[in-house]
Structures are given as C-alpha cells and as structure tokens.
Amino acid sequence: MALPIVQTGHPVLRTVAQLLTREQILSVEIQSLIEEMRETMRAAPGVGLAAPQVGQSIQVVVIEDDAGLKTNMSQEALDARERVPVPFHVLVNPVLEAQGDEIIDFFEGCLSVNGYAALTPRHRTVKVTALNEFGEEFTTNASGWYARILQHEVDHLNGLLYIDRMKTTSFTTMSNKVQYWD
C-alpha cells in the first residue's frame, strides 16, 4: 500500500529524525514501514524515499534507481550524471562523509516539493555507513548520481530539503525545466 507523501511546510520535514535500535529495526512495525516505503517510492515514482517524507520522524531510507528506464533520458544524459542502476536497499541511521572536494551541479526534484526542480550542488563522491533492514552494519562508497541520491535522502533525516542547498535562480517548475533546461 502506497503511503501519502508529505509536502514542504509539514514540520516533520524540518525535524532531525530519531535513530533506531537494532530491535526497533527488526520490529514488525518498522519492517512493514520499509515495505510500504518501497511501494510508495516505486509508485511515485522516485529513486529514494526517507521516512520523514511519509510522516515518520525516524532514520530510515529506501533507495532504488533503474538508471533512467522510467524516464526518457538519453545515454548521453545518463553518462553525464554518472547514473547507473542501483538495486533496492535500505539504510538505517546513515552517517555520510564527503570524499574529496569535487562538487557537481545537476537539477534535483523531490517527492516532498512536488512539481519543482533546481540546480543543486552535491559532492561527487561520498561514503556512507549505515545499518540495513536486518540491523547489520555496512559501508558503501558512491559517486555520481548514486552519491547525489544518498546526500538528498540523508538530508531528509537531518531536516533539510534540496531547496536549502539549491541555486535559487534555477528554481523552476518541472514543465519549464523540460522545456527550457533539458
């Protein structure tokens, strides 16, 4: 069952989400929430979803990117974004660390700022340590679009939206982005 996605202005999006214990992660409630978040992300459609976006102030993120199959993005555009398929996975209590100083600007949108996009600077490469849906610790190194997704979703857990980082003069509706920027 797809959950409603809260929109900017809702206080849960501006709150630092609570950490979860391994026992909480393994609970029926959190396991059900993870599955509902997966369904919600896919239905939206999106490439990532954080628990605050569905009204839950806890540190849970789901990510899955088919690398543009749901969009009509050209191979050239995919390559420019370093966008490759990322299988479904869960991050709980993620800690993100930028790797290097390289910053890349691309348009971002957000399911909680529906209908808009803006150029948003992000680190090209990051390292994230988190727990998975089984409460097991793992570390992932990411670059390109996957690194962007991770930064965007971890921001949600810290009460931030891409509009806090965007280049304000690029803020546009999705339809104008397609018409004038793509």
Which among 121, 118, 128 is positioned nearest to 173, based on CA atoms? Answer: 118
Does the domain formed by 11-100+123-164 have CATH 3.90.45.10?
yes
Model pLDDT, residue 78: 85
Model pLDDT, residue 65: 95
Q: Which residues are known to be catalytic?
A: 153
Model pLDDT, residue 167: 98
Q: What global pTM score does this model have?
A: 0.95
Model pLDDT, residue 126: 98
Do 141 and 124 meet the contact criterion of CB atoms below 8 Å apart?
no
| Diameter of the chain measured on Cα atoms | 49
Model pLDDT, residue 70: 61
pLDDT tens sequence for the chain (182 residues): 899 999 999 999 999 999 999 999 999 999 999 999 999 999 999 999 999 999 999 999 999 998 866 667 788 888 889 999 999 999 999 999 999 999 999 999 999 999 999 999 999 999 999 999 999 999 999 999 999 999 999 999 999 999 999 999 999 999 999 899 87
Do 141 and 127 meet the contact criterion of CB atoms below 8 Å apart?
yes
Domain coordinates in residue numbering, the chain: 11-100+123-164
Give the tokens for residue 125: 């490469």
